[in-house]
Amino acid sequence: MMAGFEALDVLGLLLAFVFTVLVLLYAFGDIPYFRLAIHIFIGVAAGYASAVALRDVVYPYLVAPALSLLGGGTPPQGLGWLVLQVILVVLLLLKLSRRSARLGNPATAVLVGVGAAVAIGGAVQGTLIPQTMNAISFFPQAVGVELDNDLLYSLALGIFMLVGVVSTLAYFHFGAGKGSEQAPQRSGLLLFLSEVGQLFIAITFGVVFAGVYLAALSALIERLFFLWNTLGAFLAG
């Protein structure tokens, strides 16, 4: 039995080594070996996700209670919930056919409506209000206190934050005044603020790109260590 597990581990290591090399071949371009590795990876990932969904969702929430009901037992979540779940599942499956797709709209509406309500409520409570308060909090709380280095630093940081927030929001304001003869144009102040906002947005995108590069660099380092360790293990026998 242990030999079987060890064989699977060895096979897994070998497959991981081969597919890592195939992916790294992308350095030579979009070659067929790279495509083969990507297609296999997508297929395995989708199959694994489906297997997990069947095991962790469909079976415990739908199949097992139905079997329990057919066997004379009582579903854990109650008969009403089971019937409701079955109805929604059936309606959602009707989306597969173009003729009966309209019958699946109620189930889709439940999904979209509940999801939108949850997302909006969370965004207001968790993002909009806290981020607004955080942007304000960089200004010194006390007024009239003696200015020291910390207070000057906090004041400068607050002004920087104010300029960054206002100019970034101004960049995404696309309203324009109506000219008499010319095409609608943004006002001069709005153009200036949007130019400043572009600078802050560029810095933000640069930071995000640097993070993506760091993540890719970390993944490459981890794969290089894996390849070297695996190769060393095979060479060592």
Binding site for another protein (CB under 8 A): 27, 45, 48-49, 52-53, 55-57, 59-61, 64, 76-77, 114-115, 118-119, 122-123, 125-127, 129-131, 133-135, 137-138, 178, 183-184, 204, 207-208, 210-215, 217-226, 228
Q: How far is the CB of 47 from another protein (least distance, A)?
A: 10
Q: What are phi and psi of 143, to 5 degrees?
A: -115, 130
Q: How far is the CB of 25 from another protein (least distance, A)?
A: 12
SS3 185: strand
Q: What is the helix, strand, coil percentage profile of the chain, to 5?
A: 80, 0, 20
Q: How far is the CB of 98 from another protein (least distance, A)?
A: 27
Q: Within a 10 A sphere around the Cβ of 22, how many other Cβ atoms?
A: 19
Residues 221, 11 contacting (CB under 8 angstroms): no
Q: How far is the CB of 5 from another protein (least distance, A)?
A: 14
Closest CA to 176 of 188, 165, 168, 167: 188
Query: 């206002």: which residue's tokens?
Result: 166
63 vs 87, beta carbon nearer another protein: 63
Query: 């060393």: which residue's tokens?
Result: 232
98 vs 235, beta carbon nearer another protein: 235
55 vs 173, beta carbon nearer another protein: 55
98 vs 183, beta carbon nearer another protein: 183
Q: How far is the CB of 221 from another protein (least distance, A)?
A: 5
124 vs 192, beta carbon nearer another protein: 124
Question: What type of residue sits at position 195?
Answer: E
User: Which tokens hold the place of 4?
Assistant: 């079987």
Cα 22–chain centre separation? 26
